[in-house]
A and B are shown apart, each in its own frame.
Chain A
Amino acid sequence: MNYSAQEFMVSACSRLIKDNECVFIGVGIPLLAGVVASKIHAPNSVLIYEAGGIGAISRRLPWSISDNATTDNALVATELWRVLGDVQRGFVDVAVIGGAQIDKFGNLNTTAIIGPDKSYQKPQTRLPGSGGANDLASSAKRLLIIMRLENRKFVEKLDYITSPGFLAGPGCREKAGLKGGGPEAVITNKCIFRFDPLTKEMYLDELFPGVTIEEVRSDVGWDLKISSDIKIVEPPTEKEIEIMHKIDPLGVVLGRKSIQENQSFEDYYQIMKKCYESMALLI
């Protein structure tokens, strides 16, 4: 079975979503993971999108958390503040988000890479900001984080904490007044990290086949703890891959192609038309 690292991430994340969960989902990889879960082992899970779509049955890949497809056949089409309020209220079981930088307590930075001699107001690289990520990390019962394991992404100290993990360690979330459970796992293109229940520190728990502990360590900016019982992640199944390709026929999320590589508008129109026809009620 041939698969890419992106496809592996989608598959590994999807398996952490349980049946009958209300799943608050970001677009891109988290979305694919949610859909794969709902098609395989979690048929009764319900996807919730930030702009206000709950329980959509989309006929094509939503391009954003507020694309029209996020309210296709939705159970509810409501408000941004309402669905985020529902997370705070405790109706949402699991949220899946990404990040640009993460530290050992699972805190995330999506605001700015500030850089030396720079400031918050004038950083080296300005990122989009929180969006709803802070809200989900604050209040979702379970939090799954998906991001690529690359140099300078897993750092000892963040330039800016946008979304709370376990903050500075045990007891900090409670002290700050946060009600959500905090991060449960970080799914990367090479491995899965989990958090020590006592120290709240991120440790290496599962490796993708062919990846070594040293390889993971070299991309992590702190003295990474390793599980004494390290496991190997099961690779994606044919069925999982098939579903991913059906949802993302252009390969944009799966990283096979960039949007600019997508030929002419006419080609795009034909592909979208086909999506609607063949994918009826797929998601």
Chain B
Amino acid sequence: MTESNYASKQMTLQEAIKKYVQSGCSITFGGFIGRDCVAAAHEIIRQGIRDLTVIDDSKTDVMDLLVGAGCVKRWEGAYLGYGAIGLAPNIRRSVEKGVPLKIELEDWSNAGISMRFLAGSLNVPFMATRSMLGTDIIKYNERVKVINDPYEGEPVALVPAARPDVAIIHVQRADVMGNAQVWGFTGNDENKARAARHTIITCEEIVSTDEIRRQGNLTLIPFYCVDAVVQVPFGCHPQSCYGYYAYDVLFCGDYHEAAKDRDKFLKWLDHYVLSSEDHLAYCAKVGWDRLQKLMGMERRFNRIPG
């Protein structure tokens, strides 16, 4: 609780992660293979946080990095791959070989896990869905309960509310109070922020509260579910951020190639994450010129309103 609704919650990424992300906590990340919290994942790795339970819908870079760095104990979610490029190398190494650590798995469908966030956001114990019925998702996941609907009598699946300790959501812009505005697809972000005990907003730009008021429709997450606001330009790279920069598919291709081999992955991790003091140091290694070009590709056509 801050003293005033209008108080600033702005802090650095290091401060926000240190304050809200502890070893052993449960966590969810905003975005959906696009607008991903990559910079925040890097900082979690740098701070040596361990034993995370990640509750999420679909993740690529963020989960492959966290699992490869040994930060994750358990996954509850729907998709762990590497998008159009292929399977996620660190996920496979962990699950199949236990390197560096074996993660526990609990599979859900995207709609199933989404309903868990919706239930969490509404403070109700569960939600009903017609997904996952009849399949092995239910066979291996005992927390999906199939009941006969008490009104009509037909089978329906119940999923428990997700209440992660912390949600980290990257948005295009926010004010220092924590009102977070999003353009483009919105994934499960408004529900994740509401379901979590604490929410960290990372954003491309910080704008004035007056600027937020000009287009209140775009505020996906209101200040009262936000604990920290952090400006992290290019915080999704190599993933995309609608209206700001395009997906760096070549960088992802190179990462995927490196990550197939454990030693090469560790070198990659050391170069881009561990030996980078902060996100700006990472950006410098990627190259500001390259980031500007990704921005140019995107901004040429997708312009944010206002």
| Given A123-B96, A177-B155, A51 and B185 contact (CB-CB distance below 8 Å) | yes
Whether B134 and A172, one on each chain, are in contact in the complex, defined by CB atoms closer than 8 angstroms, is yes
Contacts of B155 in A (CB 8 A): 175-177
Counting chain A CB atoms within 10 Å of each CB, the highest count among B58, B80, B240 belongs to B58
- How far is it, in angstroms, between the C-alpha of A125 and the C-alpha of B93 when the chains are bound? 9
Q: Is the CB of A66 within 8 A of B88?
A: no
| Beta-carbon contact of B34 and A67 below 8 Å | yes
B20 within 8 A of A: no
Contact (Cβ within 8 A) B33 A66: yes
Residues on the A chain within 8 Å of B250, using CB: 259, 262, 265, 268
Q: Cβ of A80 and Cβ of B188 under 8 Å apart? A: yes
Bound Cα distance from A87 to B187, whole angstroms: 15
The interface residues of chain A lying within 8 Å CB-to-CB of B60 are 64
Asked if B197 is at the interface of the complex by the 8 Å CB criterion, the answer is no
Cβ of A231 under 8 Å from chain B? no
Q: Indicate which residue in B81, B186, B253, B301 contacts A262 across the interface (CB closer than 8 Å).
A: B253
Evaluate whether A269 and B108 lie within 8 angstroms (CB atoms) in the complex, with A111-B136, A129-B77, A138-B131 already known: no
Residues of chain B within 8 A of A272, CB atoms compared: 246, 297
How many pairs of residues, A versus B, come closer than 8 Å at their CB atoms?
233
Question: Quick one: CB contact mask for A160-173 with B, threshold 8 Å, 1 for yes?
Answer: 11111001000011
Query: A70 in the interface, Cβ–Cβ < 8 Å?
Result: yes
CB distance from A283 to the nearest CB of B (A): 13
CB of A88 within 8 A of CB of B109, answer no
> A128: which of B81, B115, B154, B297 is its contact (CB, 8 Å)?
B81
User: Contact between B240 and A68 (Cβ–Cβ < 8 Å)?
Assistant: yes
A122 and B95 contact, CB distance less than 8 A: yes
B21 within 8 A of A: no
Instruction: Check if B57 is an interface residue, CB within 8 A of chain A.
Output: yes
Per-residue interface assignment for chain A, residues 105 to 132, with 1 indicating a CB less than 8 Å from any chain B CB and 0 otherwise: 0010001000000001111111111111
Minimal beta-carbon separation of B160 from chain A (angstroms): 16
Decide: B185 and A53 in contact? CB cutoff 8 A. Answer: yes
In the complex, A279 Cα to B83 Cα: how many Å? 23
Q: How far in angstroms is the closest Cβ of chain A from B170? A: 13
Q: How far is the CA of A257 from the CA of B184 in the complex (A)?
A: 30
One digit per residue, 1 when the CB lies within 8 angstroms of any chain A CB and 0 when it does not, for chain B 275-306 equals 00000000000000010010001101110000
Complex alpha-carbon distance, A138 and B243, angstroms: 34
On chain B, the residues within 8 Å of A68 by CB distance are: 34, 184, 240-243, 246-247, 298, 302
- The majority secondary structure among interface residues of chain B is mixed
Q: How far is A177 from B148 in the complex, measured between Cα atoms in Å? A: 9
In this assembly, does A222 line the interface, its C-beta being within 8 Å of a C-beta of chain B? no
Interface string of B104-148 (1 = CB under 8 A from A): 110111111011011000000000011111111100100000100
**Which residues of chain B come closer than 8 Å to A128, judged between CB atoms?**
79-81, 87-88
- Pair A85/B111 contact, Cβ less than 8 Å: yes
Is A16 in the interface zone, CB < 8 Å from B?
Answer: no
Which of the four size classes fits the interface of chain B?
35 or more
B270 at the interface (CB under 8 A from A): no
* B249 lies within 8 A of A268 (CB): yes
CB pair B118 A81 closer than 8 Å: yes
B177 at the interface (CB under 8 A from A): no
Partner of A276, one of B118, B241, B301: B301
Residue from the list B77, B185, B302 in contact with A66, Cβ < 8 A: B185
A131: shortest Cβ distance to chain B, in Å?
A: 4
Q: Is the CB of A179 within 8 A of B34?
A: no
CA A51 to CA B57, docked complex, whole Å: 10
Residue-wise interface mask of A (72-98) relative to B, using a CB-CB cutoff of 8 A (1 in contact, 0 not): 100001111100110110000000000
Give 6 A-B pairs besides A78-B185, A79-B190, A126-B92 with Cβ atoms closer than 8 angstroms.
A66-B185, A67-B34, A127-B87, A131-B79, A132-B111, A276-B301
Q: Please name 29 pairs of A and B residues whose Cβ atoms are closer than 8 Å in the assembled complex, sorted by A.
A: A28-B84, A49-B185, A65-B33, A66-B33, A68-B184, A78-B185, A80-B32, A80-B57, A81-B118, A88-B129, A120-B140, A121-B95, A122-B102, A126-B87, A128-B79, A129-B80, A130-B109, A131-B79, A131-B81, A132-B78, A138-B131, A138-B133, A177-B133, A177-B134, A177-B154, A178-B134, A259-B249, A260-B253, A276-B300
